[in-house]
Amino acid sequence: MSSNIVEIRNLEKVYVSKGETLTVLKDLNLDIPEGKKITIVGQSGNGKSTLLNIISGIDSATAGTIKVGDRDLEKMTESELCQYRSKFIGLVFQFHYLLKDFSALENVFLPAYMAGMNKKEAMEKALALLDDAGLSDRINHLPSELSGGERQRVAVARALINDPKLILADEPTGNLDPENAALIGNLLFSVAEKYNKSLVLVTHDMELAKKGDIIYRIKDKKLFAGDL
């Protein structure tokens, strides 16, 4: 039986602007089991990205608890949050956010090297991950020399370089054509399986969502489990 690496209880997120309040999430509960792949679908603007931002520590909850192992995410210092984002979380966004003046290999290598991994190990690991992504022959290319699908594959490799326990993917195929979208979706699930990572993937692509071990819809500010 899988143990949970993250447990969320009674999560609420309220934004306040110019005296107006907007409740995006309310009484939301979610368990993320170790090694399981979770997909979340829902309409735009209903809090899917907000939920991932809160899990990653980029945003904070208005109320509720987020337990990471035996730690409370909301009580972490800024320094602890930086460590958490660097070592525990691997992020893949809709946009790749690659450094434009660095090669594919350097974009994957640098986060590990900056986190303290020795140069040789970081380089070997970056090469292996780019091979997983089918980019062994593109490692010295700049982002501008890669296709949109190739850039997103580099981003997936980069998300895994520091051996995170949890991959968070926010509409990772949203900017891609159907062929590349399918390729990126398959890559995310295959590397999560190969390296025994938990995955939470937010998408509006129903076919991609069906690949999840656990599938949720987000509706009325809450998560509902079940088949699509």
pLDDT (tens digit per residue) in 164-209: 999 999 988 888 888 888 889 999 999 999 999 999 999 988 888 9
pTM, whole model, 2 decimals?
Answer: 0.91
- CATH numbers and ranges of domains, the chain: 4-98+147-225 (3.40.50.300)
Question: Phi/psi zone of residue 117: left (φ > 0), alpha (ψ -120 to 50 degrees), beta?
Answer: beta
pLDDT digits (tens, 9 = 90+) for 116-174: 889 999 999 999 999 999 999 999 999 999 998 899 999 999 999 999 999 999 988 88
Bridge partners of 4? 33
* Interstrand relation of 71-72 and 89-92 (parallel, antiparallel or unpaired): unpaired
Which letter does DSSP use for residue 32 in this model? E
Bridge partners of 203? 41
Contacts 24+ apart (CB under 8 A), 8-11: 8/55, 8/64, 8/65, 8/66, 8/67, 9/64, 9/65, 9/67, 10/63, 10/64, 10/65, 11/51, 11/54, 11/61, 11/63, 11/64, 11/65, 11/66
**Radius of gyration from C-alpha coordinates of the chain:** 17
